[in-house]
Amino acid sequence: MHLIGLRGMSREKMVGLLDAAEKFLDPQGKVTTPSEDRALLKGKTLALLFMEPSTRTRVSFEIAVQRLGGEVVTVSAEGSSVKKGESAADTCRTLASMGVDGFVVRHHDRQLPHVLVDRLKVPIINAGNGSGEHPTQGLLDALTLRRHFQTGEDLSGLKVAIMGDIVHSRVARSDAHAFSTLGAEVTLVGPRMLLPSDDRTEDWPATITNSRKDALRWADAVVVLRIQQERIHGNLIDAHEYAMNWGIDTSVVNGYMTPDTMILHPGPVIRGVELSDPVVDSDRSLILNQVTNGVALRQAVLKSYFN
Ligand code: ASP
């Protein structure tokens, strides 16, 4: 009923959601909605509570709800009573009393989705809880890899590096759980201060390296992450230095990557820091495929959790 994280989700459930998402993509890979699903959410209103900035996730959930015939109300911190000091949980309770049928929630507090699950009787979808998880991003990234590499039902045989600010990234955690549950080998790579301390833990089902060269030589695909500056207190990272040591530009691509190594990024991309302009716009970038697949995947998630 609720989608809070991918840690602990079974392979079967993940494969089922990816298969369901395929039905929301046409043969050219564009977003579609089969006619039998167009009224799936008719009469339902979903609230999108976004207390942290978002473009892709918020808009793609809005589009997904609308494509399935539902109504959507979006509440952000600016302009809502949260600004006056109301807790996000109370805001959700208020909206539930108005008859809202479910929530998609983004908030800096890792606990909030769990609190809402306890207090409300409607489905809760986590759209990012601080540095916790971002389950729909993990699933859409898995879908993007599965489609590009044609790996079959899951991601067996694939080697995926997740690079950059791992410890502060909810995408890194959801990706690591999705990819490893689906049979891929996962390695986390980045500067030591942005990496977890132990590898192959329950929290991080992956190996860890701080060699960009080794990781990029090894990987079939690399998921590049933004520095989550909003979660780094003190010790600010110098963008220029980071770009030199950890960014991917054409010379890094030519030096370390095979012609078939693909690049993903959940966005927003800070051009010139994690990725150079030509790399973002190159054929090896799957960034816009991720965005498209996100709408399909979110339709599949809504279908599964609101039916
Ligand atoms: N959009 C992703 C997130 O909300 C990644 C990022 O912000 O860098 O976690």
Measured in angstroms, how far is the CA atom of residue 174 from the centroid of ligand 1? 12
Q: 149: closest CA among 117, 179, 189?
A: 179
Is residue 288 scored above 90 in pLDDT?
Answer: yes
The atom number, within ligand 1, closest to the CA of 57 reads 1
- In 98-182, which ranges are continuous DSSP H helix? 112-119, 135-149, 170-181
Q: Where are the domains of the chain?
A: 11-133+291-306, 135-286
Across 168-184, average pLDDT: 98
CATH fold, domain 135-286, is Rossmann fold (3.40.50)
Report whether 133 contacts 173 (CB < 8 A).
yes
**pLDDT tens digits, one per residue of 191-231:** 999 999 998 899 999 999 999 999 999 999 999 999 998 88
CA of 80 to the centre of ligand 1 (A): 22
Helix (H, G, I), strand (E, B) or coil at 207: strand
Q: How far is residue 122's CA from residue 120's CA, in Å, rounded to a whole number?
A: 6
Among 3.20.20.70, 1.20.1260.10, 3.40.309.10, 3.40.50.1370, what is the CATH number of 11-133+291-306?
Answer: 3.40.50.1370
Question: Average pLDDT, stretch 99-105?
Answer: 97
Q: CA–CA separation, 102 vs 84, rounded Å?
A: 24
pLDDT computed for residue 154 by the predictor = 98
Q: Would the pLDDT of 236 be above 80? A: no
Chain center to CA of 26: 22
pLDDT of 82 over the 80 cut: no
Does 11-133+291-306 match 135-286 in CATH topology? yes
Q: Which residues line ligand 1 (CB under 6 A)?
A: 128, 134, 170-171, 226, 266-267
